[in-house]
Chains A and B, each alone.
Chain A
Amino acid sequence: MHLTLSSVTKHYGDVRAVNDVSFSLTSGERLSLLGPSGCGKTTLLNAIAGFAEISSGTIRMGDADISRIPPFKRNIGIVFQNYALFPHLDVEENLYFGLKMRGVSRRDARQAIGEALEIVRLEPFRARYPHQLSGGQQQRVAVARAIVIRPQILLLDEPLSNLDAKLRHEMRTDLLRILDDLSITTIMVTHDQAEALSLSHRVAVLNQGAIEQIDEPEALYERPATHFVAGFLGESNRFAANLTGIDGSFAKIALPNGGEWRGRATGSTPDGGPVQVFVRTERIGIGPSDGAGDNGISGTVRTVIYLGEERRLVVDTAAGEIVVKLSARDRLGSGVGDTVSLCWSAQDTIILPGGGR
């Protein structure tokens, strides 16, 4: 089912919790909503589900305008952050609830419930009450309860946030399989960037109620359109610089310290003027520059933080402090106080117009 939001706005008093949001999802498409706490993700989901009446704009499912119809008529499945299972009903009854509202007899419901429980692998737990289940199991019941009614749209609000890292990882795989099997149009809120990038076809980054950018995961990560997105996704080093010229697909930039780098030029890159340069921490390597297109700078290692999978270095350079994330495989021959040369490719040097800090 298509879902189309046009200029959806939701006020809470003076607060614009959702500000002029428009996007359109095709049937079966999965969208992740990503953004800092309080940016309006939950409010947007609640508006789509119908719990919070929108102040202006329209929401369409297929061709029908659903902006003003009550939630119980929308046929939208939702999985809440706290699961919101009915505590007085066992697993089977929780799943039967939605079917009962649709006038399905208990006998006819048995098969649908069985199938939904099979999808989330919880068949042996039919007769358990929510409080007798682990957090991960409850979450799966919540998913099963939402999908058993065959909703046309599925909304997931931080579905994995209450789980520990390991279970979260397992559930992410399970959820992806479930979502693929069902191919229901899905919107998922998450704080976890890896989750957003891995589970969805497109990702929308929200900031202060408005969409900063909505794009496919790789495009969003590799070609951020705004300073906010470049800074929010992953971890970047940011430099203020001046654009001095365009050379084919590369842009020449001059740093305040006199250094010259080359960055990736796109259609929207200006011809000159102040720009912000973003270089992701994991794209920087240690060692002498080995390609003609590369940028480099030398500096002194200030700190090394060991994190198991990776190591973080903070290096003092003439262009300011640079954070480098090295994978465990990268050899690190240097320690605190050593002089190192950093290098990265011009392709990984993102240039966005505008001044700033």
Chain B
Amino acid sequence: MTRAITYLVLAFILLPGVVLILTSFTEARFVSFPPEGFTFKWYVLAAQKPEFIASLKLSVIIASVVAAASTVLGTATSFLLRSLSPGLQAPLQALVMSPLVLPTVVIGISMIQFFTLIGLVASPVAVVIGHVIVTTPYVVRLVSDSLSALPRNLEWAGSSLGAPDWRVLVLVILPNIKVGLIGGGLFAFIMSFENVTLSAFLATPGLTTLPVLIFGYSDQALEPWLVAVCSVTVLLTTALVVLLERTIGLQRVFSAKG
């Protein structure tokens, strides 16, 4: 019985994606389900749309930069947090995690105001900074988890064997928190890649990420090539999620531990 329910829920979750992907192969000129026939022509058509290619490129670039930046920033933050006394650690940790509990819309609005104030609006830098703010907490969580599982003695062992601090970092600490680093980076990439709200707030005509592009078409009749575009993003994110699950297991990303 519980099993049946599990499968039902699973089907319910997976169905939209599956329908989407199946639909993208239809030969009809309008979106229809079940699909009629089988063709890749919408993918070919999408690939010929410069706006699609441009926004995909932009999204990948932004997500990569965001992943790299938030991994570095998040890791540094985790080290900082760890070095603090317990009394200071808890409030600062809460502060770092706060973007997770604020609605993204609120963050978006406040960031527009902030960026306007400093004259940075409508630049890719603004988008990257916006994304980094919401992805870094995940990196902090994953890296902090890895770090707290690391016995202090390990570092001491390294330094007693003659390694100065930077070599202890490179040769002892980083290899042992690899899982947190990779997981955090991948997750930041996914979060950035599929982010609509912030990108929409901070986007300008020349600066449209893929999700924003798709979102822009949502008030028009759905065309099969757009469905193909959506399928591409669904497949890409799914691939990354699978990779993430393989490296660290998803429950660690979403674990209640803050």
Contacts and interface: CB of A to CB of B under 8 A. Distances in A.
B172 interface: yes
Contacts of A80: 153, 156-157
A288 interface: no
Interface residues of B, number: 18
Interface stretch (B159-167, B184-192, B204-212, B233-241): B159-167
Given A72-B162, A149-B161, 8 more contacts: A46-B156, A49-B160, A51-B160, A70-B164, A71-B156, A84-B151, A88-B175, A101-B161
Interface in B122-178: 151, 153-154, 156-164, 167, 171-172, 175-176, 178
B196 to A, nearest CB: 39
Interface of chain B, main secondary structure: helix
A86 interface: yes
A140 B167 CA distance: 25
Interface of B: 151, 153-154, 156-164, 167, 171-172, 175-176, 178
Contact of A74 (B157, B160, B172): B160
B175 A97 contact: no
A280 interface: no
A166 interface: no
Contact of B154 (A49, A71, A76, A84): A84
B163 A78 contact: no
Given A82-B153, A86-B154, A101-B167, A71 B176 contact: no
A98 interface: yes
A163 to B, nearest CB: 18
Interface of A: 46, 49-51, 70-78, 80, 82, 84-88, 97-98, 101-102, 145-146, 149
Which 10 interchain pairs have the tightest Cβ spacing? A101-B162, A98-B161, A84-B153, A84-B157, A71-B159, A88-B175, A72-B159, A80-B153, A78-B160, A101-B163
B156 A78 contact: yes
19 contacts: A50-B159, A70-B159, A71-B159, A72-B163, A72-B164, A73-B162, A82-B153, A84-B153, A84-B157, A86-B154, A86-B157, A87-B176, A88-B175, A88-B176, A97-B158, A101-B162, A101-B167, A145-B157, A149-B162
A77 B160 CA distance: 6
A46 B156 CA distance: 9
Interface centre among A71, A97, A149 (most CB of B within 10 A): A71
Contacts of A77: 160
Contacts of B160: 49-51, 71-72, 74, 76-78, 146
